[in-house]
Structure 1
Amino acid sequence: MRSGRRVGGSVVRRVRRVRLPVGWRRAVLLRRVAAGVLAVLAVVVGVLGAASPEVAGSPVVVANRDLVPGPELVAEDVAVVSRPPGTVPVGALAGPDAAVGGRLVGGVRAGEVLTDVRMLGPESARASAGAPDAAGVPLRLADPALAGLVRPGAVVDVVGGARSGRDGGAVLASGARVLAVLPGEDRSTSPVVVVALPGPVAARVAAATIGQEVTLTLR
């Protein structure tokens, strides 16, 4: 019996002294690490998947249909939709109040997001004139027929009208960018063209044309 125990113990000790190949141990370790990483990823994906329905997009105003520049926008012209935050352009309008009653300075396709530079206002004036202090100046045309030749985006020179006193026939501003062409309130009033001009020039032209009509030369 003692001999059998010694033999059995010797076999056990030999088995314990067996060393696994280094490469095999490394492979096992890598498998365990990979399994741990996959488990963590599964938890992260599960958490994100559960949270995604609660992540709200950003509200933006889009055109409900193809829109043209000039006329005031009404509620039926726009809609508010939700877009992923990463797809929302800079200056996007977030609510209908920012669009309704305003005017576009260019055509817009249905579904297009409306931004501040597409609306008649200080942002579109700054973008069009390329000056941080730019402003939009409304000019009443001496010749109503001229309104049919001018389009938003056109570059014009502003010339004093015949009834502008000493400024009659003088170039008041060169290279003005047209923002909008607005019809007169009625048949007795001339159309109004809004142009973007750098701050000092805008102030000078506005002062020179108070109550006066002007003409434009097209470039």
Structure 2
Amino acid sequence: MRAPRLRRPLAALSAALATGLAVLALRPPPVATVRVLAAARDLPSGTVLSARDLRPLSLPPDAVPAGALRANAVGRTLAGPMRRGEPLTDARLLTSGLLRGYGANTVATPIRIADAGVARLLRPGDRIDVLTTPSPDTPFSRTVVSSAPVVAVPRPRSDQGALIVLATDRPQAAALAAAGSSLSVTISGAPADPPQDDSRW
């Protein structure tokens, strides 16, 4: 008498198992992803990256940009601004090659000047004086750094200012950082060396 009573539940269980197996068989395989680093927030050019500036981002392999970084980005300096969620690539970072031929105590110092048109006149090897621009509080400009060599001139993204990278010592870098973002430059010397092929990125 038990066998007929168990037959119906067993049949229902078998049908459920068969349905589950069929669903698993029809389910597409999980999509492969590549884990890269991305900006955790909007980052201005010249940012020295810290762990809080970055977050992991999983992308399909065909969506991973060339040169995407997966690690070893903390402590590197951004050559241009990044938007939140944008994958970090090697083209976004200043490289040690910029300082090839300079002294061991030289650092690559990005500054932003107010006039993008002036930046288009500059080439790696030019030497420039960096000055503060007059303001209502300080009506006179002052020279922050003199005869600093230009090592890179990234292409301006608009006419509202432009990034320039200089080779400076650490006290000069600190003085430029303290001077703020309202800066102008004058060209004080011709290129000492031929421009690098990749200098304008």
Q: Shorter-chain TM-score: which interval? A: 0.3 to 0.5
Normalised to the residue count of structure 2, the TM-score between the two structures is 0.45
**More helix as a share of residues:** 1
**Highest relative contact order (Cα 8 Å, sep 6+), 1 or 2?**
2
